Amino acid sequence: MHTSITSEVVALRAEQDVTLATPRRCVGLVARSLFTTMDLIYGRRRTLEKFLVLELVARVPYQTWEHAAYLSITRHARDTVRARSIYRRVMRARDQQDNEQWHLFILEDVLDHRGMELGRFRHRLLPQLIAFVYYQVSWLMFVLRPEWSYRLNADFEDHAEHEYMEFVADHPELEHEGCTYSVADEYGCYDSLADVLRQIGVDERHHKNESLAELEQLHLDRGANRVR
């Protein structure tokens, strides 16, 4: 659990500085198309409402990988070593998916506490449609070439990381706004909304790095197979 102590606040601010000093990834066509679509629908300005949509979509690749991995386990059920290796991948995807779900719960609670009314179409139905399309694209990419899907997710998570950190930098008043939410036992407690959003940004960086690690492992495995 995260704890709201001074040393952690300092650490989170240092992590924000790291993100702000790091250039954004040069994203691929699919990621760029997704970001452009969201900007056209929800505007280019960073808002908590837009982050809510971002988090709803963010769960999709992990759902895709979990589904694909279970199918692979079924195919390789007799090869227990390989099946267990695939299952460990399932657990990693599930942990990341759960983390994105905590982000979604937190943002919903924050917006509810602020008394913000969200339109049913723009913030409920339309995001579900975007997520559905994104699922199909992620699935197809994973089936055709898994590294495409991991690279796409790294692009997405890098975008999310920078968006959160830049939003906090643009809104210093968030340092003085408290934040309570229903998943504090699972996610941890923080003194301010600014620190909650910083931690979410750090989480997105971890997800990005995990996707890049999966990508690197695929390249290593492919190279080892060539040697054989």
* In a domain? residue 23: yes
The percent of residues in the chain predicted with pLDDT above 70, rounded, is 91
Confidence at 4, pLDDT banded by 50, 70, 90: very low
The number of distinct structural domains making up the chain is 1
* CA pair distance 195, 181, nearest whole angstrom: 13
* In a domain? residue 112: yes
* In a domain? residue 62: yes
For residues 64-78, average pLDDT: 76
CATH number at residue 156: 1.20.1260.140
Best CA proximity match to 49, nearest among 163, 153, 151: 163
Q: Which amino acid is at 5?
A: I
- Which residues span the domain enclosing 64? 6-227
* In a domain? residue 1: no
For residues 22-33, average pLDDT: 97
* CA pair distance 190, 187, nearest whole angstrom: 10
